[in-house]
Structure 1
């Protein structure tokens, strides 16, 4: 079995988010996960990397990256005060993909894929953010290897997370294209996560 192209998967996810990221949109990227549970740290690691993107911050002022840990609901006040147009959540999620792969998930997918390291179910947190902030949301899952207690991410998950950050930075640094595929306040994952999973399965089964 050949290794998946993590950069291509990340690029597809980032491009699918363009409807959420028009020029000058106020955007929050909320990373979720514990540094003490190995790959569960992927979302928070992504947020940490995004805060270090000096070029992105200079080119796109209305941008905020937050490390949400295991209780992102505690940061709703901070998010609300930023007055975001869009909130994108990044988190480790079991999706039966290769380690480090990423995909946009629907609320139903989130319920089945996320882990008990979070204080509140993420669909509840997302709905609360939407209602409180009046913004659109999207959820990006990153496939872990292990979320057991311990320090250090699997190299494949680390690489996949870094690829995702690189592609998100590229998309947010240039004008958005108009892309169909919306569902209420959330990006419709039907043409994104399912398509990416299908492509991966066709190439690697």
Structure 2
């Protein structure tokens, strides 16, 4: 793993997490918390007290029902956490690849994409999906599939990439968020504010 010009070791901890990250909807927050803890430890061991830098990218079309989930999550994080130097909160919309210049300047150790994703789960299910598991997911309205964007970010920025996917129920134009997705968006917002609100 690399940040900027410095290459960080691909530890057995990280390989373990990347291998097991596709998990049940009820435990995504436990897995993400553990992932952040281990990644922060790796960063600290390779630097003089450097803080783990995390970019959260909200992806989706706010006019297509549940596809707004990722954008709505990041908007709330921007209101609550935008003052924190270890976080970059990006509203990527339907073309998150247009934000790569900001990401490159920030030099994140981890890019966490938040998006509605077809995972063959009940509506509102939330899953943390590893970079190498993104091939099987479909993006509904975006210019690039999640796997292509993740591969580009990992190659160009030398960072780790994961997707926090929310299973949609309704992607129709001008539809409101479905109730299952609305509840999940609220839970994801609260969990991420707690997890990301303090430097690791």
Question: Normalising TM by the smaller chain, what interval?
Answer: 0.7 to 0.9
The 8 Å contact of residues 29 and 90 in structure 1, kept in 2 or not, is answered as yes
Counterparts of 1:80 and 1:69, CA distance in 2: 18
- Taking CA–CA contacts closer than 8 Å with sequence separation of 6 or more, which of the two structures ends up with the larger relative contact order? 1
Give CA deviations for 1:137-189 in whole Å, capped at 9, x if unaligned.
1111101101121242112201101211211221223575xxxxxxxxxxxxx
Q: Quick check: 41-50 or 21-30, which moved more? A: 21-30
Identify if the C-alpha distance between structure 1 residues 20 and 150 changes in structure 2 by more than 3 Å, giving closer, same or farther: farther
Gaps (5+ residues) in structure 2? 1-24, 42-49
TM-score by length of 1: 0.72
Q: 1:49-88 alignment to 2 at 5 Å?
A: 49-53=76-80, 56-58=81-83, 60-88=84-112
Counterparts of 2:186 and 2:140, CA distance in 1: 24
What SS class does the counterpart of residue 93 from structure 2 fall into? Answer: coil
The 8 Å contact of residues 21 and 86 in structure 1, kept in 2 or not, is answered as no
TM-score by length of 2: 0.74
Gaps (5+ residues) in structure 1? 1-5, 177-205
Give CA deviations for 1:40-76 in whole Å, capped at 9, x if unaligned.
11111111111111xx445x42211111111111111
Aligned counterpart in structure 2 of residue 144 of structure 1, from 159, 162, 168 = 168
Counterparts of 2:74 and 2:198, CA distance in 1: 19
CA RMSD, 1 decimal: 2.4
Q: 1:111-150 alignment to 2 at 5 Å?
A: 111-150=135-174
Counterparts of 1:40 and 1:21, CA distance in 2: 31
Following superposition, the deviation at residue 96 of structure 1 comes to 2.4
Aligned counterpart in structure 1 of residue 69 of structure 2, from 28, 33, 42 = 42
What SS class does the counterpart of residue 31 from structure 1 fall into? Answer: strand
The 8 Å contact of residues 10 and 101 in structure 1, kept in 2 or not, is answered as no
Q: Kindly indicate whether residue 128 of structure 2 is the aligned counterpart of residue 101 of structure 1.
A: no
Identify if the C-alpha distance between structure 1 residues 163 and 68 changes in structure 2 by more than 3 Å, giving closer, same or farther: same
Identify if the C-alpha distance between structure 1 residues 108 and 149 changes in structure 2 by more than 3 Å, giving closer, same or farther: farther
Counterparts of 2:66 and 2:78, CA distance in 1: 19
The 8 Å contact of residues 14 and 164 in structure 1, kept in 2 or not, is answered as no
What SS class does the counterpart of residue 105 from structure 1 fall into? Answer: strand
Identify if the C-alpha distance between structure 1 residues 127 and 21 changes in structure 2 by more than 3 Å, giving closer, same or farther: same
